Structure 1
Amino acid sequence: MKKYKYLLSLIVLTLSFMACGDQQPAFNSDSTTTESSSSGAMAKESKGSRDNTIRVLTPEASGVEVYSNVDASIDASNASEGYVMVKYTGSAAKVRMLIETPAGNTYNYLMDLDGNYDVYPLSEGSGTYKIGVYENLHDDQYAAAFTQSVSVTLKDEYSMFLYPNAYVDFNANSKAVKKGQELAASANNDIEVVQNVYHYITKNVKYDYDKAETVQSGYIPNVDSTLATNTGICFDYASLMGAMLRSQGIPTRLEIGYAGTEYHAWISVYTKETGWIDKIIQFDGTDWTLMDPTLGSYASNSQVKKTLDDTTYYQLKYKY
């Protein structure tokens, strides 16, 4: 009988973005949604001076620094780039991977069981990360199959937010990436790319209330599916925008926490012109004041202002 060093009951992170905040859809007369949403209109715009070549970084399990046992492997060869590759090779029917950060926060992932490496970000700076693979025994009871501490010195604070990862998953052939390239064609700088992508998503992707009420724990966004259906929950909005911007070389964090009392997802981006643009976006042509594509897809100016007036409304918990 297999022996485990210890058992633990994991508090499973349930990504049930039911309402994605306590705001209700309101297509009021003061809404900022006035531009054409057709891709044809975008295509007619003149070419901008910024190079919109697709720039997709590919995570690698290089095999230089690998920790493993019969159940799991952790490839930390490129930890300085802000990610590790982890795969499960055991026989459990349900497996979770936990990353404890230097600050003591724990990131909880439901793993794929295909025997291949998946990429996970090291998103809270340099230091020692504890990485563990846990097999489900029953209900919410898990046992450690393999754990390993990895000392990380990050090359910079941006690279991990350029790579695809478990929650912002894309490659050079993704339709979302190609759409991002199209939307960036008219831009003269990174700010205009963010503006174009943000406006496209908020004007074309509709909030899916049925999905919000039925989404299961462990749900992972599919950026091409969101683009094809033009529907999603806040997790989908943030992941799609993240894929489009990262593939244009713009560091983008998918952020998860609380908007009011509701569990929610939004993004922050980094540009050389502005540094990190945090929390939520409502773009009026001069000032970035909010960075929440879900809210931007339906909220009026008055709703956005009400949200902005509450400086404690957005409480960040996790960065991906």
Structure 2
Amino acid sequence: MSVVLTATRIQRCTLVAFALLLSMCLCACSGGSSDGSQPQEPQTSNSSSGDISSTSNQTSEGGELDAGETSGPAFEMPASIETATFDANAAIGANDALIDTSNASLGYVGASAQNAAKLKFQVIKGEMSYNYDLSGDGTPIICPLNMGDGSYTLAVLQNTSGNNYVEVFSTTIDVALENQFVPFLRPNIYCDYTDDSACVKKARELAQGAQNEGDVARAIYEWITESISYDTGKAAELAQTTGYYPHPDDTLSSKSGVCFDYASLAAAMFRSLGIPCQIITGYVSPDNLYHAWNMVYLDGQWVSVQITINPDTWTRIDTTFAASGGGSTVGDGTTYTDRYVY
């Protein structure tokens, strides 16, 4: 079967990568603040009824939050992280391509391949398609089943020329997730970490003494926005490439990164502590910047000068704009348009 990855497939991925990389250099320059939103499902958050307190203009010049109050369910430090593994023995495949679906109910699948050509791993549900770069040296990748329950088509594709790909192996599975949160509680290709990762250790350090999940959210949010600097040089370098995957520990070590790095580090910290967190890429008005941010699920309520987190909702946390030190460019959830969720 020959596959041409055009508008509904590879060009989506290419457009996302190009727009993201092109606008990364603008992320920190736009200013703005985080905001609360209330999408009812993890995949949709284009509109918002989240309560914004007097917001960005009330932050200090350095972008710091006032003390505020936290609430929510009591926080208990998990003994270990929720893992995501590739089981070659459980995988199915052909032509030196393997797909492991044994953990589909936990919200993820894995793929690996041995091939000298450029490869993609494709995850399709309905009209939506996610395309991931796949190494040909046999190194497996973990990808989220982030589009809810239902029928998924999974395929390993080999490049023949340009945007033309031929299918190496594919399979279709019916997915019934344990719950809507499981894809966002584990590491994946955009948010890779283990129990021994520095970002996990830092998250545990930040969460020490937290009385509730609001305390944890505040500690992570404040530490990232105060400690990580936006790297304009890296953004310029990435503007010439595609297929960038952030690494939370690298961001932690360098104390710098682009918006994708901010979002990946935040997600690793939240997830490692048992708090569901999405990485979202999409557009931010009014300049239509392609950007990356987080959505966090909290049962309690976190009230601060900058944002209000409502109970039982996915809440947007944008560490890049907060770290830039103020402004009011992004002060309303309706200015965000989600495109991809990881």
Q: Shorter chain as normaliser: what TM range?
A: 0.7 to 0.9
CA, structure 1 residues 266+91, in 2 after alignment: closer, same or farther (shift >3 Å)?
A: same
Partner of residue 253 from structure 1, selected from 273, 278, 296? 278
Residue 296 of structure 1 is matched in structure 2 by 322
Counterpart-to-counterpart distance in 1, 2:96 and 2:63: 51
The 8 Å contact of residues 32 and 331 in structure 2, kept in 1 or not, is answered as no
Deviations for 1:53-84, whole angstroms, at most 9, x for unmatched residues? 45311223346863311131111111011111
The answer on 1:317 being equivalent to 2:334 is no
Q: Distance in 2 between matches of 1:314 and 1:70?
A: 42
**Structure 2 residue ranges without an equivalent (≥5):** 34-55, 66-73, 310-314
- Paired residues of 1:20 and 1:264 also in contact (CA < 8 A): yes
* Cα displacement (A) at 1:150: 1.4
Is 1:269 aligned to 2:299, yes or no? no
Provide TM-score, normalisation by structure 2. Answer: 0.78
Mark the runs of 5 or more structure 1 residues left unpaired by the alignment: 36-48
Q: How many residues align?
A: 293
Q: Deviations over 1:220-272 (max 9, x none)?
A: 11111100111000000000010011110111101111112111100011122
CA distance in 2, matches of 1:54, 1:201: 23
Worse overlay, 132-141 or 246-255: 132-141
Q: Is the 8 A contact 1:64 1:77 kept in 2?
A: no
Match status 1:217 vs 2:249: no
Task: Say what the alpha-carbon RMSD is for the aligned residues.
Answer: 2.7
Q: Which one of the candidate residues 85, 100, 116 is aligned to 2:124?
A: 100
**Against the structure 1 CA distance between its residues 90 and 112, is the aligned structure 2 distance closer, same or farther, given a 3 Å change threshold?**
closer
CA contact (8 A) 1:21 1:264 kept: no
Aligned residue type for 1:52: M
Given the superposition, is the C-alpha separation of residues 34 and 120 from structure 1 closer, same or farther in structure 2, using an over 3 Å criterion? closer
Tell me the residue number matched to 2:218: 195
Distance 1:283 1:123 in 2: 30
Q: Which among 46, 56, 61 is matched to residue 31 of structure 1?
A: 61
Relative to structure 1, the CA distance from residue 8 to residue 234 in structure 2 (aligned partners, 3 Å threshold; closer, same or farther) is closer
Secondary structure in 2 matching 1:51: coil
- For 1:84 and 1:267, the matched residues in 2 are separated by 22
Q: 1:74 to 1:202 in 2, by over 3 A?
A: same
Instruction: Tell me the TM-score normalized by structure 1.
Output: 0.83
1:192 shift after superposition? 0.9
Instruction: Pick from 130, 134, 142 the counterpart of residue 157 of structure 2.
Output: 134
Q: Is the partner of 2:292 in helix, strand or coil? A: strand
TM-aligned CA distance change 1:151 to 1:50, over 3 Å:
closer
CA contact (8 A) 1:180 1:247 kept: yes
Instruction: For 1:1-320, list aligned pairs within 5 A.
Output: 4-9=1-6, 10-11=10-11, 12=14, 13-14=16-17, 15-16=20-21, 17-20=24-27, 23-24=30-31, 30-31=60-61, 33-34=63-64, 50-53=75-78, 55-62=80-87, 66-92=91-117, 94-102=118-126, 104-215=127-238, 216-260=241-285, 261-274=288-301, 283-284=304-305, 287-288=308-309, 291-300=317-326, 303-304=327-328, 306-309=329-332, 311-320=333-342
Residue identity matched to 2:297: Y
CA shift, 1:32, in A, is 5.8
Aligned-pair distance for 1:25? 8.7
Distance change >3 Å, CA 203–CA 79, structure 1 → 2:
same
**CA distance, structure 1, for counterparts of residue 334 and residue 167 of structure 2:** 37
User: For residues 161-209 of structure 1, what are the alpha-carbon distances to aligned partners after superposition, in whole Å with 9 as ceiling and x for unaligned?
Assistant: 0110000110001001000000000211111101100000000101011
CA distance in 1, matches of 2:145, 2:307: 33
Q: Percent identity over the alignment?
A: 32
